Structures are given as structure tokens and as C-alpha cells.
Amino acid sequence: MIQVNSIMGSLFTTITSEQTVVNSGICIEQEVPLNSDPNNTPWVGVYFEDALIEPYRSNITSPWMVQYNLLLYIQGSSYDDPTEANDLLHKTMDVVLSAVNSNRTLDQTVLHIKEWNIEPVQRDLEEDGYFFTNEIRIQAEGYA
């Protein structure tokens, strides 16, 4: 059975319960609109993207494989310096990815995290500051 709520809950709890994340003052939210407030950084959004299901074996009684695509959006900002905004973004990313890496089965809700891809999605250089966002796509595998 596909248990998206359990997987997302485990990912969220893995990040929010990590002591380094707690001490860093990072705002972490799940399935909310993307943060647009530079004052609310460092910020992490946790989202479910999709699940790709395919037969694992030709035997109909065997489980099917599911590839879950989970998204993290991580943001950092600075009013004065783009380097400071970039440093905050990468420090936040390091702390969050270390937390996720410490629980690769997401509390046994998936078999394992297969890979993650990091991609910059926003580099706003505005009069009132610098606002940077990276998207991290986490691919995890499990049985249906």
C-alpha cells in the first residue's frame, strides 16, 4: 500500500527533530505555499511531488515498486550581500541534508533514498535584498 502521509511525516520529523536544525532557527513547513518573505529565512518547505508505480516482478502476487519524488525547497536571504545569502542557503542545505542522510529509510517507510538532485530555482537580486532558493528532489524507493 502506498502511504504518502507516513513518508512525508517521516521526512518532516527527520528534519525537525535533528538538534542541529533546531539550534539553527530554521523555519520548516510542510505542504504550504512557497515562502515569499525574505524575513522568514532560513526556510525549508517539504512537499510531495509524485509516485511512479511499476511492476516489480511478472508474478502478480509479488509487490510492485514505487519511486517517490519528494521535494525540499530551501531558502536563504540577505539585505546587504549576495554572498551572505548564498552562504546562508548552503549552510541551511548542509544541515537539512545531513539530517535526511541520517535516516535513509525514513523510519522504514521506504526501502531507501535512491538519490537527490539539487537545482537552483530562484536568484532574486532586488533593491531590498537578495533572496535565493534551491530545489532538492529526493527520490526514494519502496514497495506498493
Per-domain residue ranges for the chain?
Answer: 4-143
Pairing of strands 27-30, 43-55: parallel
Q: How many Cβ atoms from other residues are within 10 Å of residue 83's Cβ?
A: 10
Domain 4-143 class in CATH: alpha beta
Low-confidence ranges of the chain (pLDDT < 50): none
Look at residue 57 in the predicted model and tell me its pLDDT.
Answer: 64
The three cell numbers locating residue 103: 535516516
Query: Which of 27, 21, 34, 19 is closest to 94 using CA atoms?
Result: 21
**pTM as predicted:** 0.90
